[in-house]
């Protein structure tokens, strides 16, 4: 949480990982609440049709529901008494940047020299803990530290919003009300279990918490007591932070001893329309070569060209996919991977990025999607996000026009589509 890097709902990468689970646990209609209609809604569209006189009425209804789900009265009082509607949260929830940020601009910030240096210092400060978690879960210490750096700049910026107020506000008035309601209930369970006091549950405006930005449902599923004190504390315990992060990646399919991937050189005439995973041997037979050294021995790997044929190319395996489970964005996974490499002292990306390409605005992407639909390349709704359907439709268009089908959207391609769709 992937896509070209965009700013929107996400403040936690785990929001996207857990949304399906959250949506699968809707409010039970049988619970006796002040407004049973709301508490039985299963999707955002239906929820949006329900109105409340005010936030406090909604909160009273939710409190009755939470009690019916087994949350203790003591927790409900400690957690929900005095909870406020936060207008700033709704402002941030509705924010959509004008420009879709190019991946090289994102990486310039995410893998800056300062972040690399700070990451090396953090690894040195917590080396014993990081190595312990590496031995326990098989995830390299530098990758654990890299996620820490990307998510909260090593704990310097994981947010000071009350998680309860953020989620209650989003559940009442946000774009994903059903999802936020599920996360709010998960937050109450965490408090009820004694992992954190209500007043100490802090994080981003979107409900992501702690050093490595777990949302409540992901905390329940993956957080680990790393220091043995009987609590899972991703706010103040670095052993818990590192153990929880490593456990998440381990559960996501991390393969011990394998690299995340490698930068590669693609042969002349390479078919960029290939989206299937193949073994390293199969890619080697097509002429794919490592930029430096030899290709890793992957059983199942994909070629990734996040900036099209004129940018760097990567062969990525199971561990890259594990990082994508943390946040399903190629830009995010590449940032974690390359920051980890840099922290460990390995070389970074060799091929230059096509920095001369003007970024598309969100409106541009919507226009591109509508144009693709009009000329017969169905990509779904025009949401302004360069998701997999849009990229596949764009690849098909490029192929039919005799262009390199790399799925990379440019102003030039947009202009061609404008002319074709008129």
Active-site annotation, residues: 151
Pair of tokens at residue 208 = 């992501």
Instruction: Tell me which residue of 261, 262, 198 sits closest to 235, measured CA to CA.
Output: 198
Structure tokens at 31: 């619970």
Cα–chain center distance at 218: 12
Q: Pick from 14, 27, 24, 34: which is nearest to 244 by CA?
A: 14
Instruction: Decide if 222 contacts 251 (C-beta within 8 A).
Output: yes
**Three-state secondary structure call for residue 88:** helix
Contacts for 274 with CB less than 8 Å, ≥ 6 apart? 303
CB-based burial label for 195 (10 Å; 0-12, 13-18, 19+): buried
Which helix (H) or strand (E) segment holds residue 115: the answer is helix 113-125
**Alpha carbon of 353 to those of 24, 258, 310, 329: distances in Å?**
41, 26, 7, 18
Beta strands in 250-336 (DSSP E): 261-265, 289-290, 302-304, 313-316
8-state DSSP, 346: -
* Nearest one of 330, 365, 302 to 98, comparing CA atoms: 365
Contact call for residues 397 and 409 (beta carbons, < 8 A): no
Q: What is the DSSP letter of 198?
A: G
DSSP bridge partners of 162? 202
């Amino acid at each position: 949480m992937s896509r070209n890097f965009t700013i929107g709902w996400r403040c936690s990468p785990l929001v996207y990982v857990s949304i399906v689970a959250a949506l699968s646990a809707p409010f039970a209609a049988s619970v006796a609440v002040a407004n049973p209609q709301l508490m039985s809604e299963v999707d955002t569209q239906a929820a949006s049709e329900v109105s409340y006189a005010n936030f406090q009425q909604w909160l009273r209804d939710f409190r009755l529901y939470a009690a019916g789900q087994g949350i203790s009265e003591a927790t409900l009082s400690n957690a929900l008494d005095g909870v406020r509607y936060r207008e700033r949260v709704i402002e941030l929830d509705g924010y959509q940047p004008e420009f879709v940020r190019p991946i090289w601009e994102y990486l310039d910030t995410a893998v800056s020299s300062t972040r690399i240096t700070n990451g090396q210092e953090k690894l040195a400060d917590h080396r014993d803990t990081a190595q312990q978690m590496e031995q326990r879960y098989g995830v390299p210490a530098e990758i654990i530290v890299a996620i820490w750096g990307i998510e909260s700049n090593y704990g310097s910026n994981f947010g000071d919003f009350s998680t309860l107020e953020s989620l209650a506000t989003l559940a009442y008035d946000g774009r994903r009300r059903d999802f936020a309601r599920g996360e709010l209930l998960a937050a109450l369970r965490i408090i009820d279990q004694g992992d954190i006091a209500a007043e100490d549950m802090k994080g981003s405006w979107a409900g992501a918490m702690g050093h490595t930005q777990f949302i409540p449902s992901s905390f329940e599923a993956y957080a680990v007591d790393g220091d043995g004190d009987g609590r899972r504390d991703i706010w103040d315990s670095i052993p818990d932070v590192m153990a929880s992060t490593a456990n998440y990646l381990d559960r996501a399919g991390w393969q011990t001893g394998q690299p995340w991937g490698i930068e590669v050189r693609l042969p002349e005439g390479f078919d960029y329309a290939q989206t299937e995973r193949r073994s390293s041997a199969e890619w080697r037979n097509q002429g794919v070569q490592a930029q430096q050294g030899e290709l890793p021995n992957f059983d199942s790997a994909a070629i990734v060209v996040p900036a099209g044929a004129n940018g760097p190319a990567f062969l990525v395996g199971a561990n890259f996919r594990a990082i994508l489970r943390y946040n399903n964005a190629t830009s995010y996974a590449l940032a974690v991977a390359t920051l980890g490499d840099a922290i460990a002292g390995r070389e970074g990306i060799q091929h230059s990025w096509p920095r001369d390409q003007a970024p598309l605005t969100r409106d541009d992407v919507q226009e591109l999607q509508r144009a693709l639909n009009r000329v017969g390349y169905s990509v779904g709704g025009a949401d302004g996000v360069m998701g997999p359907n849009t990229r596949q439709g764009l690849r098909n268009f490029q192929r039919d026009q005799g262009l390199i089908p790399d799925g990379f959207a440019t102003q030039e391609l947009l202009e061609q589509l404008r002319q074709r769709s008129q």
